[in-house]
Amino acid sequence: MAVLTAACALRARTAACAVLAVLFCASGAAAEALSTAARALNEDLSIRIDCRPGETRQVGIYPFETTRLPIPPDNAFALYEAFLGELLRFAPPCISYIDGRGAYVTLDYLTQSGRLHESGQDHLLQIRDRLEGVDYVMDGSIIDQTDGLVAVFRLTDFSAGTAVARAQFLVPERFQATRCGAGAMPIAQTVETAVRALLDRAGRLERLTVVGGYYGQSDVQTSFSRYLESEIVGQISRQAARVITGHNVQITYLRDTEATGLRNLRGLTISGADFDAQALRVTHEDRLADSAEPQADLHRLMFRYWVCEGDLAARLSITLTGPQGHEVQEITSIRLDNLPAGLALHPDAPPPPPPEPPARGVSLQISSNRGPNPVFQAGERLELLLRSDADAWFHCFYTDSADRTIQILPNPFQQSHTNAHFYEGSMVHLFPDPQRSPVPDPFELVINADTHGVETLTCFATREDISLLLPPGMRGESLHPLPQFHATRLHDLFIQAAGGAVGHARLTVTILP
């Protein structure tokens, strides 16, 4: 875990738990399950909001996040439209659904054309602006489980950010490209074929940043994901090389980089979209010419895998992202026999739950000196990059692999300064920051040698300082672990204290042994 080297240790934990109305529709025909789930969700929603004559409530639906899908994006969007159609068919008179995908399609075109970077706009914020007037938001994901692919849709109160209901159903076969494990081949053969298809569509590859590989929808890396990474990067190096000219792809691993383009933006006002783009850029400080400009020839590699067939096979999704945000993706199946000994297919502990969809209030973004979802080893320094779209007070908590939580912001070093955890909006901030004015941070966050696994940092941002409204022990006075009954309810405690206007973001940290 991370520690303060200035004579103290900072440990933390976060786990936001919400009670949901779970609507299982796993039996019968899959198409019927989709329809039944939509009907049940509408019925549950109409009861919870107490529909009255002449009253209308709006529900905005966020599209799927393409990089976390175990099926091709076109199939996922077809599923999205089918579920939306069923929601509309069974919608109570007082419910109005707003399709967020219209904004997404426009944004996808702008991204591929390169105009999105020029506009300096944030994907999520544009969709959020489109849905600004809604009362509830719904976000969807597709999860690979033992019984097959399951679509999960969560309904959240947009004002409070609290969960209202949840529907899930087996994904109908017509929306699946193939079943997980169908036609699976050995890893080397599968990766070779997938990389060839990616490079054919991605065009000339000069420089590649390896972001990493993740388990399922989570931001957790495993020893098996690192094994896959070596296979994928090796194939890219071989296939993209040109023997005649002697050209080789320049490859940089995000986890081995001490400085990123984002770190050099500390103190600068920057858009949300540029923050996300810079978080995945790798530019050493001594070579940094203009941190606000994209590197024209830089591609990024990220992949995810979903284990299935009783750990005998896995679905693999590989994504190459070009310098202007254009993505090419290949989804295939791999066999998991004859693996080297000692590889862990699953994380040591269950992955953290997915973050709640954004609510009204402050939009908060987090990255690190090694980009989003960083990987560290003992003795290495963790630096956080924070950005909100408005002036806000930040509260941050760190969860170690032993499930202990401490508050790292605010902290006892700042008790004599009431505004020490206030941060100016639209600006990139470093934490800890020894140069921060007027209150420098007199410590570092360093990874301990006695921990490894998945650790989590969660931050909350509010437009007012709500420290005195939080329970004792969550006001920055102590570096001791929080009581479990507080640590497991962080999100709810902040919603209650702030009256619902809370921004929140999370960073998953993988600690290698």
CB 366 within 8 A of CB 507: yes
- The percent helix, strand, coil of the chain (3-state, each to 5) is 25, 30, 45
Position 182 scores a pLDDT of 76
Question: What are 29's two structure tokens?
Answer: 């025909």
List C-alpha distances in Å: 429 to 193, 223, 285, 303, 504: 42, 32, 17, 29, 16
Position 31 scores a pLDDT of 56
List C-alpha distances in Å: 351 to 227, 302, 402: 19, 18, 13
CB proximity list for 244: less than 8 A, separation 6 or greater: none
Position 141 scores a pLDDT of 86
Give the count of beta carbons closer than 10 Å to the beta carbon of residue 414.
16
State the span(s) of the chain assigned CATH 2.60.40.1930.
2-16+353-511
User: End-to-end CA distance of the chain, in Å?
Assistant: 11
Buried b (16+ CB within 10 A) or exposed e, 128-144: bebbeebebbbbbbbbb
pLDDT per position as a tens digit, 277-308: 777 776 544 444 444 444 556 888 999 999 98
Query: Alpha-carbon distance 20 to 166, whole Å?
Result: 6
Task: Point out the residues of the chain with pLDDT beneath 50.
Answer: 3-30, 103-123, 284-294
22-175 sits in which CATH class? alpha beta
Report which of 372, 412, 310, 357 is spatially closest to residue 510, judged by C-alpha positions: 372
Q: What superfamily in CATH does domain 2-16+353-511 come from?
A: Macroglobulin (MG2) domain (2.60.40.1930)
The full DSSP string for 296-351 is TTEEEEEEEEEEETTTTEEEEEEEEE-TTS-EEEEEEEEE-SSPPTT--SS-SSPP
Position 3 scores a pLDDT of 46
Task: Kindly calculate the radius of gyration of the chain based on its CA atoms and give it in whole angstroms.
Answer: 23
Q: What is the CATH number of domain 187-335?
A: 3.40.50
Q: Which long-range contacts (CB under 8 A, 24 or more apart) does 337-344 make?
A: 337/186, 337/312, 338/186, 339/187, 339/224, 339/227, 340/227, 342/223, 343/222, 343/223, 343/224, 343/227, 344/222, 344/223, 344/224
CB 318 within 8 A of CB 303: yes
Q: Indicate the helix (H) or strand (E) that contains 233.
A: helix 223-240
Position 114 scores a pLDDT of 40
State the span(s) of the chain assigned CATH 3.40.50.
22-175, 187-335
Q: How many residues does the chain have?
A: 513
Question: What are 17's two structure tokens?
Answer: 């738990």
According to DSSP, residue 471 is labeled P
Position 105 scores a pLDDT of 40
φ and ψ at residue 78, rounded to 5 degrees: -65, -40
Position 6 scores a pLDDT of 38
Position 101 scores a pLDDT of 57
Position 316 scores a pLDDT of 93
Question: What are 403's two structure tokens?
Answer: 């499930």
CB proximity list for 422: less than 8 A, separation 6 or greater: 391, 392, 393, 394, 465
Q: Indicate the helix (H) or strand (E) that contains 42.
A: helix 30-49
List C-alpha distances in Å: 251 to 59, 67, 206, 233: 44, 21, 9, 8
